[in-house]
C-alpha cells in the first residue's frame, strides 16, 4: 500500500515542505530511503525499525521504499524519523491515512520510541502559519517552547511514538498548551564599573544608538574588553520580529537547549583562532557562523590583529550586506548577519606602541602586524577610538560613574526617533540607511565641514557617507531634527587621521 505524510526541512533558516512517501510491496525484506538523504537520514531506518519493535508493533516482512519529496533537494538531520514511522504504519494499514491529513510531523526517535528534539522547529512553524488554516504541528515536547512563539499554529507534543500511535488510532490529535515561562534576565556588566574613559563611553553610546561599528585601539589594561562587554547592557530590547529571527538562527544552530525564544540581544566573542567557516558559516551541511549568531546583536573580536587576515577579510561582505551567502555546487544558503562589530586591538605585537612604556617591536614587526587590517575593512568601521590607560589615582575615585540604565534610556529614545523616520521601510537604524540620503539632511554649515574634512582627511566615499550616518545618530541623541556642524564635528573626531595614528603609531 502507498501512504504519504507531511513533514518539513530547513535550508539555511528557511523551511520548505517535504512529503514522506512510503510504498510497501512484496519482495526481499529491506528498507530503502531515496530523495537525496544524508547519512543521518539514511540511519533513520534503523532507529525507526527499533522504535517500532520496542513499542510492540510487529510489521510484516516487506520491501519498503521511502521517498522524501522533492527528491532533488538534499535532506539532512534526524527530524524525518517520526514522519517516516507514521507513514510506514499507514502503509501497513495500522493507522488510517485520513487522521493525519492536516498534520505536519517532526521529531527524532530514540530506540525506545521516545520523541527527541530536533533543530529548526521555529522556522517550520513560521512557514506553517502562512497556511489558512495552519496544520497541526506534531513535534517533540522539548521544542514546544520555540514553536509556541509563532501564534495560531496548533501544536501536539507526544512523549513517545506509542503515545502518538494511540492518539492516531483513536482519530484525534490532542493539542498541547505550552507552559508560559517568565524570561530570565541575563546579568549584564554595568558601565558604572568603568572608571574614566568618557570618550569611549560616548562612542559606545553612539554605536548602540545607531548600530555603528567600533574599533578600540590601546595598550593592555586600558579597558577595551571591559567596555565591549558592557555594550549589550545599553542596547534597546529586541522587538518581536527581531527576536523571532534571532531565535530561528539559534534553533538551526542547535543552541536553544530545549528552551523558549531568545530574549536578549546576542553577544558573540569568538577566539582569534576561529576558522573562516566558524566565523562566517559553512561546512558540508551549511550552518550559521558567528556573524549570523550575532544577528541583531554584537560581534566582539578581541585582539583583532591576531585573527588571520583571510578570516578578517571575509567580514567585508556581511558588514556591507547584512547577510552571508554560502554557495555550494548543489545549492546556495543565505543566513542573515546584521550585527554591530566591536573590535579591540593593541597598536603593535608587544602592545606598548603609543603608551608610556617602551615599545620593543621593530618597524617590520609593526608593519606586518598592522597589515592584517586592510584599508577596505577599516573603512567599514564607523568609530575609531584611541584608549589610554586610566591613571591609578583616578581608579581610586569614590564617585560612581553613570550606570548602564541611564545610558540605555538615551539610546532607546534615539532608536525611537529612527524607527519613526524609517517607518514603512525594512531599515531599523541609521547604520542601515542610505548615506547619500542622510548627507542631504545636513544643514549648509555641516555639509561644508564634512566636505572640507573629506578633502583634508582623504576620506573615501564610503567613509564620507558613514561619517554622515554617525552625525545623524549624534543628532538623534540630541533630539535634533537637523544635523548641525557640531554633530558632524563630533562624528569626525572618531575617524582615523592616518593609518599610523589609527593603529597607535610610535
Q: What number of helices (H) and strands (E) belong to the chain?
A: 22, 18
Read off the DSSP letter of residue 232. G
Given a contact cutoff of 8 angstroms between Cβ atoms, the answer to whether 435 and 379 are in contact is: no
For the record, the C-alpha cell of 314 comes out as 571575509
Q: What are the residue ranges of CATH 3.30.230.10 in the chain?
A: 2-170
Distance, in Å, from the CA atom of 288 to the CA atom of 142, rounded to the nearest integer, reads: 22
Read off the DSSP letter of residue 37. B
**CB-neighbour burial class of residue 255 (10 A; exposed 0-12, middle 13-18, buried 19+):** middle
Distance, in Å, from the CA atom of 215 to the CA atom of 463, rounded to the nearest integer, reads: 14
**116: Cβ contacts below 8 Å, ≥ 6 apart:** 78, 107, 108, 109, 110, 140, 142
For the record, the C-alpha cell of 88 comes out as 510506514
pLDDT in tens, 38-72: 999 999 999 999 999 998 888 888 899 999 999 99
Query: Phi, psi (5° rounding) for residue 75?
Result: -115, 135
Distance, in Å, from the CA atom of 341 to the CA atom of 109, rounded to the nearest integer, reads: 40
Distance, in Å, from the CA atom of 405 to the CA atom of 15, rounded to the nearest integer, reads: 38
Give me the residues of the chain with pLDDT under 70, please.
180-185, 258-259, 330, 354, 398, 497-506
Q: What are the residue ranges of CATH 3.40.50.300 in the chain?
A: 191-502
Nearest to 377 by CA among 320, 324, 322, 335: 320
Sign for the CA dihedral angle at 450, 455, 461, 463 comes to: negative
**CB-neighbour burial class of residue 148 (10 A; exposed 0-12, middle 13-18, buried 19+):** buried
Cα 8 from chain centre: 22
Distance, in Å, from the CA atom of 355 to the CA atom of 268, rounded to the nearest integer, reads: 29
Given a contact cutoff of 8 angstroms between Cβ atoms, the answer to whether 344 and 228 are in contact is: yes
Distance, in Å, from the CA atom of 410 to the CA atom of 153, rounded to the nearest integer, reads: 38
Beta bridge partners of 192: none
CATH architecture of 191-502: 3-Layer(aba) Sandwich (3.40)
Cis peptide leading into residue 37 (ω within 30°) = no
Helix (H) or strand (E) holding 104: strand 103-105
Sign for the CA dihedral angle at 482, 483, 487, 489 comes to: negative
Domain 2-170, CATH number (from 3.30.230.10, 3.90.950.20, 3.40.50.300, 3.40.50.720): 3.30.230.10
Distance, in Å, from the CA atom of 319 to the CA atom of 301, rounded to the nearest integer, reads: 14
3-state secondary structure 149-174: CCCCCCEECCCEHHHHHHHHHHCCCC
| Longest CA span, the chain | 88
pLDDT in tens, 399-444: 778 899 999 999 999 999 999 999 989 888 999 988 778 887 889 9
Distance, in Å, from the CA atom of 432 to the CA atom of 418, rounded to the nearest integer, reads: 11
CA angle 248/206/483 to nearest 5° reads 120
pLDDT score recorded for residue 506: 38
Read off the DSSP letter of residue 261. -
Read off the DSSP letter of residue 356. S
Q: Are strands 323-327 and 332-336 parallel, antiparallel or unpaired?
A: antiparallel
Read off the DSSP letter of residue 243. H
Distance, in Å, from the CA atom of 421 to the CA atom of 481, rounded to the nearest integer, reads: 10
CA atoms within 13 A on the CB side of 5: 30
Amino acid at each position: 500500500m502507498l501512504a504519504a505524510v507531511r513533514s518539513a526541512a530547513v535550508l539555511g533558516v528557511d523551511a520548505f515542505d517535504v512529503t514522506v512517501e512510503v510504498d510497501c510491496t512484496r519482495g526481499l525484506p529491506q528498507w530503502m530511503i531515496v530523495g537525496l538523504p544524508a547519512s543521518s537520514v539514511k540511519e533513520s531506518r534503523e532507529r525507526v525499525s527499533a522504535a517500532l519493535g520496542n513499542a510492540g508493533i510487529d510489521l510484516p516482512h516487506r520491501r519498503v521504499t521511502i521517498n522524501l519529496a522533492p527528491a532533488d533537494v538534499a535532506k539532512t538531520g534526524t527530524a524525518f524519523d517520526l514522519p517516516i514511522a507514521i507513514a510506514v504504519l499507514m502503509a501497513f494499514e495500522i493507522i488510517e491515512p485520513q487522521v493525519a491529513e492536516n498534520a505536519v510531523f517532526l521529531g527524532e526517535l530514540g530506540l525506545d520510541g521516545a520523541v527527541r528534539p530536533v533543530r529548526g522547529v521555529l522556522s517550520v512553524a513560521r512557514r506553517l502559519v502562512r497556511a489558512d488554516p495552519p496544520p497541526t504541528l506534531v513535534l517533540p515536547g522539548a521544542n514546544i517552547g520555540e514553536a509556541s512563539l509563532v501564534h495560531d499554529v496548533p501544536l501536539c507534543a507526544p512523549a513517545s511514538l506509542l503515545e502518538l500511535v494511540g492518539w492516531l488510532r483513536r482519530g484525534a490529535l490532542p493539542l498541547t498548551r505550552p507552559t508560559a515561562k517568565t524570561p530570565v534576565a541575563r546579568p549584564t556588566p554595568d558601565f558604572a564599573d568603568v572608571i574614566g574613559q568618557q570618550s569611549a563611553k560616548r562612542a559606545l553610546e553612539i554605536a548602540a544608538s545607531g548600530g555603528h561599528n567600533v574599533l578600540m585601539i590601546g595598550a593592555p589594561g586600558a579597558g577595551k574588553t571591559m567596555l565591549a562587554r558592557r555594550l549589550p547592557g545599553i542596547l534597546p530590547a529586541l522587538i518581536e520580529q527581531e527576536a523571532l529571527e534571532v531565535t530561528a538562527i539559534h534553533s538551526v544552530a542547535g543552541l536553544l537547549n530545549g528552551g523558549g525564544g531568545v530574549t536578549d540581544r546576542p553577544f558573540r566573542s569568538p577566539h582569534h583562532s576561529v576558522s573562516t567557516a566558524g566565523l562566517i558559516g559553512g561546512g558540508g551541511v551549511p550552518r550559521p557562523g558567528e556573524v549570523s549568531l550575532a544577528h541583531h546583536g554584537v560581534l566582539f573580536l578581541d585582539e583583532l590583529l591576531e585573527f588571520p587576515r583571510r578570516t578578517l577579510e571575509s567580514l567585508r561582505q556581511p558588514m556591507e550586506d547584512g547577510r552571508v551567502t554560502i554557495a555550494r555546487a548543489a545549492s546556495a544558503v543565505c543566513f542573515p548577519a546584521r550585527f554591530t562589530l566591536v573590535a579591540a586591538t593593541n597598536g603593535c605585537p608587544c602592545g606598548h606602541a603609543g603608551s608610556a612604556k617602551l615599545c620593543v617591536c621593530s618597524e617590520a614587526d609593526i608593519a606586518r602586524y598592522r597589515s592584517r587590517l586592510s584599508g577596505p575593512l577599516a573603512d567599514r568601521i564607523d568609530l575609531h577610538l584611541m584608549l589610554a590607560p586610566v591613571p591609578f589615582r583616578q581608579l581610586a575615585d569614590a564617585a560612581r560613574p553613570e550606570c548602564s540604565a541611564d545610558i540605555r534610556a538615551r539610546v532607546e529614545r534615539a532608536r525611537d526617533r529612527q524607527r519613526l523616520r524609517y517607518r514603512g521601510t525594512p531599515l531599523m537604524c541609521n547604520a542601515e540607511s542610505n548615506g547619500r540620503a542622510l548627507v542631504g539632511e545636513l544643514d549648509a554649515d555641516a555639509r561644508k565641514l564634512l566636505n572640507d574634512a573629506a578633502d583634508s582627511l582623504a576620506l573615501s566615499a564610503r567613509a564620507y557617507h558613514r561619517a554622515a550616518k554617525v552625525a545623524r545618530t549624534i543628532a538623534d541623541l540630541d533630539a535634533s531634527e537637523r544635523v548641525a556642524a557640531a554633530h558632524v564635528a563630533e562624528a569626525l573626531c572618531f575617524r582615523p587621521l592616518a593609518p599610523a595614528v589609527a593603529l597607535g603609531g610610535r
